[in-house]
Amino acid sequence: MTEPLDPDMFDPVCPSDLSPIRFGDKWGGMIIRCLEQGPRRFSELRVPLRGITSKVLTQSLRALERDGLIARTVHTEPVRRVVYELTPLGCSLLVPMDAACAWTAEHWDQLIDAREAGSSLGRTAG
């Protein structure tokens, strides 16, 4: 049995969108991290991903499945349940994700400075 996911595994002070390196869509990297320790049900994924709607989680899971990074398995016995887990291809993405996280941590101050400078440019369409 896999340990429950920590509801606070993603620090709200450290938004994943600060990193310019993306794995799938906005939520893809976090979903992959949730599946790192083993298969999970949809409802389990919602715990640490509390900012995601059911619709967007479904879309993200389908995209990750389409890309071969996760597998969706339907179990019918003893009751119907669906679980998601990393494929070998998805597992191979964990090492580059660790490198991207380390890079982001190393360049955190520069990323924040650049983001703040970019938001203060006051650009207008035209």
Per-residue pLDDT of the chain (126 residues; tens, 9 = 90+): 678 888 777 765 555 656 677 787 889 999 999 999 999 999 999 999 888 999 999 999 999 999 999 999 999 988 899 999 999 999 999 999 889 888 888 888 898 888 888 777 665 555
Q: How many CB atoms lie within 10 A of CB 100?
A: 17
- Model pTM score: 0.81
What gap in Å lies between CA 34 and CA 6, rounded to an integer? 9
Spell 13-28 as b/e; 16+ CB within 10 A means b: eeebeebeeebbeebb
What domains can be seen in the chain, in order of their start residue? 16-118 (1.10.10.10)
Contacts of residue 20, defined as CB under 8 A and 6 or more positions apart, other chains included, come to: 111
